[in-house]
Each structure stands twice: as C-alpha cells, then as structure tokens.
C-alpha cells in the first residue's frame, strides 16, 4: 500500500504541476455553469407559466436530469484527455522502461495512476456540484436525489477514465489512445438510440445513458452499480495485463 501511495502522490504532483489539469478544471467550471444557469432560467420561466395554469414542478425533478446528463457527457469528453498520457505518455517520452524496471507490479502502477487521475476528476465534480448545493440554501432541493445524481455522474466519469487508461496502455501514442477511447465512449453513449426490437435488450444493457437514468430519477438500482463496477474493473484489469505484457516483452 505504501508503494501505491507513492505512485498516487507522484501522479498527483505531475497532474497539478502541468497546465492541463487547470485548463480542464477551468473549462469544466465555465461550461457547467453555463448549462446550470441556462436550465435554471428555463425552470423559472416555466414556473411562471405553470403557476398561471394552476400547476407546478419541483426544482430537483427539473434541474437534475437536464443538468447532470450533459455534465456526464462533458466528463466523458475530458476523461480521455486526462488518461491518454498515463501509460502512452510514458512510452512516447521514453520513461516507460524505467517505470517497468521498478519492483512494482503492473496492477499497482495502473491503480496508482488511475486513482490519482480519478482524484482530479472527483475534485472537478465537487466544484461543479457546489452550484446546485449552494442553490439549496434558498430553494428546496431533494438532497437524496442530488447525491444520487452526483454518484451517477462520478461513476460515469470513472468508467471513461478507466477505458481511457486501458487504451493508453494499449496504444503507442497518447493521441491514438485518446481517439480510441473517444470512439468507444461515443458508441456507448449513442448505442441506446439504435432502432430495432431485436437489439433493444442488448443496446439497453451497454448504453451509458440508460444506466444513468435511474440515478437522475432519484433511484438506486444495483444493476446499474454492477454495470459500472464490472466495466471499470475489466478496463483496469485489461490495462494491467497489457502493461505486464510490455514488461515481459524484450
């Protein structure tokens, strides 16, 4: 565990010492703030028309799915950019051989790099989640529904990061790793929209938005938790196996 902490600390220093992390945090804050206030304005406008018609709609039910679903897409876009250099960057920079020569297992190396980058994404998500949390001081927001939405978004980002790390271990160049991860994530995001009754069960099973819907509806489904946990574990295991194969190759 001490070796894992050393790798996590090293990666965190590398991430926060480079401008990429700060650019990502700033861009995500700007885009998420724009999305949040656009949907908040729409909510206020609709409330006026609904009151005139004698109806109403809760802020949580309106804001959470409209804000957190595109936020998940943004984080999926960011994840490959952060993960593409984790292994492929070491290889293109000529430091991978030195890393693999250390008496550390491939699993520990992959976990250390993954956890460090996940810390960065978690910090970014916490900063974004402050907007609806602060709004809760003035209007009623369902805390349970908000926490579930944050959890679903975090799991989605964690999956995107794990997939990006796998391609970073597989590819020889960071750009190739990013493009490959983008391609797979786009397929997982859009596959639920495929028409045809024969593919419905399959597309619903692998579709990312399908597994996020329950979180954004205030529901916790263990099948969705299992989907993300298994997918993340498979990506990390495949990445560790690929890295171990590079260590064994001459």
> Using one digit for the tens of pLDDT, what is the confidence trace for 34-88?
888 887 777 777 766 655 545 555 667 777 888 888 888 888 888 888 888 888 8
pLDDT, mean of residues 202-212: 81
Q: Which of 34-43, 146-155, 177-186 has the lowest mean pLDDT?
A: 34-43
Q: How distant, in Å, are the alpha carbons of 69, 160, 172, 203 from that of 209?
A: 8, 13, 31, 11
Percentages of the chain per state (helix, strand, coil), in multiples of 5: 85, 0, 15
Q: Could you tell me if 163 and 242 are in contact, meaning their C-beta atoms sit under 8 angstroms apart?
A: no
What percent of the chain is modeled with pLDDT above 70?
88
Task: Collapse the DSSP code of 9 into the 3-class scheme (helix H, G, I; strand E, B; otherwise coil) and give the result.
Answer: helix
Model-level pTM greater than 0.85? yes
Range of the domain at 35: 2-248
Confidence of residue 32 (pLDDT cuts 50, 70, 90): confident
DSSP state of 172: S
Contacts of 241 (CB under 8 A, 6+ apart): 106
Q: Burial level of 14, CB count in 10 A (0-12/13-18/19+)?
A: middle
Q: Any idea what the Cα angle at residue 84 is, between residues 78 and 88, rounded to 5°?
A: 175
Q: Could you tell me if 98 and 183 are in contact, meaning their C-beta atoms sit under 8 angstroms apart?
A: no
For residues 129 and 123, give the distance between their C-alpha atoms in angstroms, rounded to a whole number.
10
Q: Could you tell me if 74 and 32 are in contact, meaning their C-beta atoms sit under 8 angstroms apart?
A: yes
pLDDT of amino acid 48: 63
The answer to whether residue 125 scores a pLDDT higher than 60 is: yes
Nearest to 68 by CA among 132, 163, 164: 132
Question: Domain total for the chain?
Answer: 1
Q: Which of the listed ranges 87-96, 103-112, 158-167 does the model predict with the highest average pLDDT?
A: 158-167
Pair of tokens at residue 132: 């609806």
Question: CB-side exposure of 37: number of CA atoms within 13 Å?
Answer: 5
DSSP state of 105: -
Sign of the torsion angle spanned by Cα atoms 191, 193, 199, 203: positive
Nearest to 75 by CA among 173, 176, 185, 168: 185
In the block, tokens 């271990």 appear at 169
């Amino acid at each position: 565990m001490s070796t894992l902490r050393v790798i996590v600390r090293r990666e965190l220093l590398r991430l926060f010492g480079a401008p990429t992390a700060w650019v990502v945090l700033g861009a995500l804050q700007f885009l998420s703030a724009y999305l949040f206030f656009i949907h908040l304005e729409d909510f206020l406008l609709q409330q006026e028309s609904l009151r005139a018609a004698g109806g109403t709609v809760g802020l949580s039910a309106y804001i959470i799915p409209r804000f957190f679903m595109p936020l998940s897409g943004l984080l999926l876009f960011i994840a490959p950019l952060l993960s593409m250099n984790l292994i492929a960057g070491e290889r293109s920079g000529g430091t991978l051989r030195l890393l693999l020569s250390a008496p550390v297992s491939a699993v520990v190396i992959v976990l250390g790099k993954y956890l460090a980058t996940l810390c960065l994404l978690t910090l970014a998500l916490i900063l974004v989640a402050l907007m609806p949390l602060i709004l809760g001081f003035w209007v009623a927001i369902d805390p349970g529904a908000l926490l579930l939405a944050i959890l679903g978004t975090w799991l989605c980002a964690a999956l995107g990061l794990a997939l990006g790390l796998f391609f970073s271990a597989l590819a020889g160049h960071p750009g190739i790793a990013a493009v490959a991860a983008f391609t797979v994530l786009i397929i997982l995001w859009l596959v639920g929209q495929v028409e045809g009754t024969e593919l419905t069960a399959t597309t619903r099973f692998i579709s990312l938005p399908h597994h996020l819907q329950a979180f954004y509806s205030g529901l916790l489904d263990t099948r969705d938790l299992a989907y993300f946990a298994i997918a993340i574990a498979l990506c990390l295991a495949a990445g560790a196996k690929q890295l171990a194969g590079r260590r064994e190759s001459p």
